[in-house]
Structure 1
Amino acid sequence: MTGERGARCPGRVLTALLCALTAAGLYGCSGTGPPEPSPTPTTAPATPTTPASPTAPTTPAGLSPFTGLPARPAPVLAVKIDNVPAARPQTGLGAADLVYVEQVEGGVTRLLAVYSSHLPDLTGPVRSARESDIALLGDFGRPVLAYSGAQSALNPLLRAAPLHLVSEGTAPGAFRRSSVRPVPHNLYVRPGRALAAAPGAGDARDIGFRFGPAPPGGTPVTSSTVRYPAARYTFTWSAADRAWRVAMDGREARATDTGPLTPETVVVQRVTIRPSRFHDRLGSVSPYSETVGSGTALVLRDGRSYEARWSRPSAASGTTFTTPDGAPLPFATGQVWIVLAPKG
């Protein structure tokens, strides 16, 4: 499917608001299906690690700061996407520059897809925002956030954030309902129209990522699995694709418009996931993923894994990833997935 600013590229990828609000209102929450057998990770012996060479201090002009691929300056659109089994396969994920994985109520996950280099005709299903999204999107300046709404107590925080909010209520022409999906998994956004509804959106800017040749060392890896309380992601290296094939809960992950999801770089960012002040209609507390601070990560690229450190001093600063000895750890050019995984 052709996009509104071009076809999917073959390479693909604030200070924190400290408001104390009483939790009230509603979130949508869905469960997962029965668990499936866990795949067995397979790794090859590690090779000796040597220090990596530093990469350029900023993304060179003419390249996307999100993927490292050629791209013109363009505004940023973030879309909150449903990810329970009833919402799969999603649409438009293959065109995203970045995909973030976030834990929500019940131990399941939702996706935050970030677009700038390319726009699909349609993406979704679109679901509601969470408190974690506010700090997470602080890296991006003033992006557009397309979402299906939020509980009433969270709305003041969203409105105070440096975000251009686009929902079915504010820009109905940017959304459509599918007749073949059940509610609430049937709302989709037209990215081009969502950006048109927010003409002041900021262009893509440096958010701390660096791209370049693989650093020395690393461990050859054929697959890597990340587990949440009620969800599981497995990333399997495909030499033919020169990318990682994504599986969710034991099943291949696909987009309806572009086929299998195959990011070039996967970052397993280990973060603290704690209870927030908000909860869903059943009383389940919404998790909050802390993306400001520092910690460890695992970077998967080119069939190898690299232990890394991440650092983000404030919600308005970018997130940097370095080798254990402090050198910048470059990503492979193309689509990047950031999996906000629970520590331990």
Structure 2
Amino acid sequence: MKNLPLFGGRNLSAWLVLGCSLIAISGCGDTPSASPTTSVTPVETSVASPPSKPTSIAVETELPFKFPLTGLPSSKEVKTRPYMVMVENAPQARPQTGLDQADIVYEILAEGEITRFVSVFQSHEAKTIGPVRSIRPYFVEIGDSLDAVIVHAGWSQDAMNIMAGRKLAHLDEVYGDGAFYWRADDRKAPHNLYTSVDKMKQGVEARKFRTEWNGPLLTFAKDGQNKLTGAAVTHIQIPYLQGYFVSYEYNAAEGVYKRSMDGKPHVDKETGKQLQTTNLLVLESKHKILDKEGRRTVDVFGPDKGLILQQGKSQQITWERKGGLIRAYAEGTEVPLLPGNTWVQFVPEGTAIKTE
């Protein structure tokens, strides 16, 4: 354990023609089995027992497009705006639903020493997402930089000032957009509010928001392999405040990091599947408490130090928001992501990360 301060069909046709010709010469053109007197047994045998259905030769075809936020293959070009949904992480909200279908998830401290998830959906039509909660200014900054439709239930005044001043597209359950959400009956409010991609699409149509995406592009490794030069890391612990911590364990068979909270697998409520990520970034950031309620500012612009993990290896990086997205750099060169989903863990500067 290390304590790291963070910083073929043509050939078949020819044989069939040849076989039929030889059978015709033998006087058995319409006979399903070969004449006993024929002298070309190998050819006759192959014609005498044809498959009941035409056989097809499997040809691997590469899909022509990629999903912008995962780099995974897509059959069509994706130009629709993503949705950025604020998902709660208080104990009463666990386990959450839909985070396993997000392209990117940012985990960041809110007030009360509990983190909140900024979950970004573009490549999956998630049917249930939540519980949905309120938004803060630094969450707005992430949504704005992604050119996403921001989905939330309530806000701080500073967050609303930003959204109103910039005329950002957002759906707020508390003030006027309740039709695009629902409340589950198996949990108590406010920990029971949910939405879906279909509901959010209805909201975008009703509010006449722009649907075509003007967002930035991520950089993905072309060969699907990481080039990280740091130490192997199969386990990492990320301690947030009040003893609450997150950990990830590398699963070599699947090539992903599987997530746990408080020492237990962090699963999706509907599927029971453990949350996982292909790319894991742990980023130091300046944090500052603003008031007695514990509201804070969190720097989501950088530059600052960090760590990236892919395929069981790590690399220390600097991070910075450039071209509208938070990106990792090593010696001045951008570190590409691997095709797949990404989790980004923001932690206060000086947080002691444990790896092994």
Q: 1:138 to 1:155 in 2, by over 3 A?
A: closer
Q: In the alignment, which residue of structure 2 is the partner of 1:34?
A: none
Deviation larger for 159-168 or 92-101: 159-168
Alignment of 1:328 with 2:334, yes or no, is yes
- Distance, in Å, in 1 between the alignment partners of 2:133 and 2:262 is 20
Residues 139-158 of structure 1 aligned to structure 2 (within 5 Å):
139-141=145-147, 143-152=148-157, 154-158=159-163
SS in 2 for 1:254: coil
- Look up the equivalent residue of 1:301 and give its one-letter code: Q
Q: 1:120 to 1:204 in 2, by over 3 A?
A: farther
- Distance, in Å, in 1 between the alignment partners of 2:268 and 2:151 is 19
Q: In terms of Rg, which structure is larger?
A: 2
Q: Judging by fraction of residues, say which structure has more helix.
A: 2
Q: In the alignment, which residue of structure 1 is the partner of 2:235?
A: 223
- 1:75 corresponds to which of 59, 81, 88: 81
Q: In the alignment, which residue of structure 2 is the partner of 1:264?
A: 278
Q: 1:157 to 1:228 in 2, by over 3 A?
A: same
Cα pair 1:77 1:195 within 8 Å, conserved: no
Shift of 1:216: 4.6
Q: In the alignment, which residue of structure 1 is the partner of 2:202?
A: 196
SS in 1 for 2:142: helix
Q: Identity of counterpart residues, as a percentage?
A: 24
Normalising by the residue count of structure 2, what TM-score does the alignment of the two structures yield?
0.73
Shift of 1:155: 2.2
SS in 2 for 1:128: coil
Normalising by the residue count of structure 1, what TM-score does the alignment of the two structures yield?
0.75
Q: In the alignment, which residue of structure 2 is the partner of 1:108?
A: 114
Q: In the alignment, which residue of structure 2 is the partner of 1:58?
A: none
SS in 2 for 1:322: strand
- Distance, in Å, in 2 between the alignment partners of 1:63 and 1:240 is 24
Equivalent residue pairs, number:
280
Cα pair 1:116 1:204 within 8 Å, conserved: no
Shift of 1:200: 1.2
- Distance, in Å, in 1 between the alignment partners of 2:122 and 2:286 is 28
Shift of 1:285: 2.6
Q: 1:222 to 1:204 in 2, by over 3 A?
A: farther
- Look up the equivalent residue of 1:194 and give its one-letter code: M
Deviation larger for 86-95 or 285-294: 285-294
- Distance, in Å, in 1 between the alignment partners of 2:162 and 2:216 is 25
- 2:257 corresponds to which of 244, 257, 260: 244
Cα pair 1:81 1:127 within 8 Å, conserved: yes
Summarize deviations over 1:118-139 as a string: whole Å, max 9, x none: 1211100000001111222232
Q: 1:312 to 1:153 in 2, by over 3 A?
A: closer
Q: Relative contact order: is structure 1 or structure 2 higher (C-alpha 8 Å, sep ≥ 6)? A: 1
- Distance, in Å, in 1 between the alignment partners of 2:336 and 2:157 is 41
Q: 1:41 to 1:161 in 2, by over 3 A?
A: farther
- Distance, in Å, in 1 between the alignment partners of 2:3 and 2:253 is 18
- Distance, in Å, in 2 between the alignment partners of 1:170 and 1:131 is 20
- Distance, in Å, in 1 between the alignment partners of 2:249 and 2:111 is 27
Q: In the alignment, which residue of structure 1 is the partner of 2:15?
A: none
SS in 2 for 1:255: coil
Cα pair 2:285 2:302 within 8 Å, conserved: no
Cα pair 1:107 1:229 within 8 Å, conserved: yes
Q: 1:239 to 1:123 in 2, by over 3 A?
A: same
Cα pair 2:150 2:169 within 8 Å, conserved: yes
Q: C-alpha root-mean-square deviation of aligned residues, in Å? A: 2.3
Residues 91-130 of structure 1 aligned to structure 2 (within 5 Å):
91-130=97-136
> Structure 2: which 5+ residue stretches go unaligned?
5-63, 351-356
Summarize deviations over 1:188-231 as a string: whole Å, max 9, x none: 01222213312414427334443342115221111111111133
